[in-house]
Amino acid sequence: MNAEKTGDLIAKLRKEKGWTQKELAEALQITDKAVSKWERGKSMPDLWIMQSICQVFEISITELLTGKKGEPDETAGATLLVELVDREKRKKLRRINFYFGGGSLILIGLLFYEGIWRNTLGHAPMAGLAELLFLAGLGLALLVAGFYENNRDGRKKTFSRAEIEVLTGKGENRRMKSAEELLQFARKSQRAELGQYRKAFETIAENLREEEYGLFSLVGESYTVNDSPGPWHIALAVTNERILLSGETVSGRMFTRYTLDVFCREEIRLVYREGRKLIFDLSGVSLKIEGEDVDKAAIGLMEMLKR
């Protein structure tokens, strides 16, 4: 892992955009001190922020980790990401051990002091009530911190090895079965942070057949079928058998549900871009997906369909 190469690349790309460290920090919703440390090679970005960096600079995680923009070694990128994931897990385990270990030692010490030192052996008290309450509170606080650290998720999540292969583009060997893998693949070229996209991919994953797996995925703001409006916040997955789309609809005023539309891959006649729209010309159906960065995702999709 070479933090200096990654830092040099971040600094180079930031300057190409004409941004200050503070402006980059604002775009990533972090402090400019963190950006400064990256660029000086003093630290690496945490896993949770790497995808945001890649989206801002339009690079892959492999390029970020290797510090080389262009055609990086995907195998080296996967190796580095595995190394970084393992490092993050070890750091988290050390924190958990510190919290649980420290809290347990303090509480065990208090029990020994009250149960044996004073009551059984009859020794004079070594601390007042205020000190004892402080130590008890500290021990409990450390245990609570340990439980929180152990169950913490959200932004600071790590990746499974399957997700690492998706993120580092292990191309033709990818076989995505879970919603998380489909979502991570879409994030390689698009912003897909909304919870609605995750739920749409969950609907798709639940409807995959036993021998079916995803080869490509993307997200969009909305889509139409033969110019009839469909759901919004949609997720699309191209599998080895079908095309599956899921999106958000409202059933009544209070409830949101996710529909699923399915098309056979053999029906695809043509796929092309038109502005912010990706258009599938199917047998008797014109499917149009509209959204931010759909055109970027479309390039990879069209290449995949050629194979």
Give 181-232 pLDDT, tens digit per residue: 898 888 877 888 888 999 999 999 999 999 999 988 999 999 998 988 889 8
How many whole angstroms separate alpha carbon 65 and alpha carbon 43?
Answer: 12
Domain stop point among 123, 155, 187: 155
Query: For residues 211 and 257, is the Cβ–Cβ distance under 8 A?
Result: no
* Bridge partners for 247 per DSSP: 259
Give the residues of the chain that fall short of pLDDT 50: 153-157, 170-172
For tokens 């896993």, the residue is 47
Tell which residue, 214, 222, 203, has the closest CA to residue 294.
Answer: 222
Q: How many CB atoms lie within 10 A of CB 221?
A: 15
Domain containing 187 equals 174-306
Does any domain span residue 168? no
Number of compact structural domains in the chain: 3
What is the pLDDT, as a whole number, of residue 143?
A: 85
Rounded to a whole number of angstroms, the distance between the first and last alpha carbons of the chain is 34
**Beta strands in 209-266, from DSSP E residues, in sequence order:** 214-225, 228-239, 242-251, 255-264
Q: For residue 60, what are its two tokens?
A: 């892959």
Query: For residues 280 and 267, is the Cβ–Cβ distance under 8 A?
Result: no
* Bridge partners for 214 per DSSP: 176, 239
Are 68 and 89 in a shared domain? no
Residue 164, Cβ density class (10 Å: 0-12 exposed, 13-18 middle, ≥19 buried): buried
The three-state secondary structure class of 41 is coil
Does any domain span residue 257? yes
Are 67 and 89 in a shared domain? no
Summarised one tens digit per residue, pLDDT across range 57-68 is 878 777 888 888
What is the pLDDT, as a whole number, of residue 153?
A: 47
CATH number of domain containing 30: 1.10.260.40
